[in-house]
Structure 1
Amino acid sequence: MGKVAAEIESRLVAALSPQALDVIDDSHHHAGHAGHRGDDAESHFTVALTAAAFAGLGRVARQRLVYAALGDLVAADRVHALRIMARAPGE
């Protein structure tokens, strides 16, 4: 796991205490596209997580929680693209 992926994982664990969490670096699929920095730079990710914090929330509210947890990683463009699959337990 790369440095940015590890930071994503750490922040999501601290903020949302997920029961399940996968952070996948998809950057290699985007070579030559906007936001890809070249070499081994991490820029595009998929996060799949299950957390009680998502219970009763719609898709947009769940995504907002994830973005809030990641804060400056997204704002500073360290994460160019983020695919979020957020579920509540039992879904």
Structure 2
Amino acid sequence: MDRKTRMTVLLEEALNPSMLVIRDDSARHQHHAHMRSVQENSRGPAQVGETHYAVEIVSDKFDEMRALARHRLVNELLAPEFEQGLHALSLTLKGTKDV
């Protein structure tokens, strides 16, 4: 299962979002030599990529949460992905009352 699919399953189960968009922006960062070497060392040359994502979520779970708490929650949910090579995550998190 690729990273986007794993993140989708995890976020859908935890947050039951009314909207979930996950965009892989890794190709925009392939030129970073440091990123290539870190990825190859941690996951092997066949696994280069899947490092930079933009995630947009609308969920009623966020309705009574401040922005920082929303970000902490999503980062905690995705902690295993960071341990497996996820490098950057851009988050847009809204409650249903924010839309």
State if a TM-score over 0.5 links the two structures.
yes
Gaps of 5+ in 2: 40-44
Which structure shows the higher helix fraction? 2
Q: TM-score, normalised by structure 2?
A: 0.79
- Give the Å deviation of 1:35: 3.0
30-39 vs 3-12, greater mean Cα deviation = 30-39
Name which one, 1 or 2, has greater alpha-carbon Rg: 2
Q: 2:87 aligns with which of 59, 68, 80?
A: 80
Contact kept? 2:30, 2:49, Cα under 8 Å: no
User: How far apart are the structure 2 equivalents of 1:12 and 1:32?
Assistant: 29
Q: Identity over aligned residues, as a percent?
A: 26
Question: Which aligned pairs between 1:5-84 and structure 2 lie closer than 5 A?
Answer: 5-33=4-32, 34-36=34-36, 37=39, 41-74=49-82, 76-84=83-91
Structure 2 letter corresponding to 1:88: G
Give CA deviations for 1:16-73 in whole Å, capped at 9, x if unaligned.
1111000000001111224354776210000000001111211110001111221311
Q: TM-score, normalised by structure 1?
A: 0.85
56-65 vs 44-53, greater mean Cα deviation = 56-65
What's the Cα RMSD here?
1.9
Gaps of 5+ in 1: none
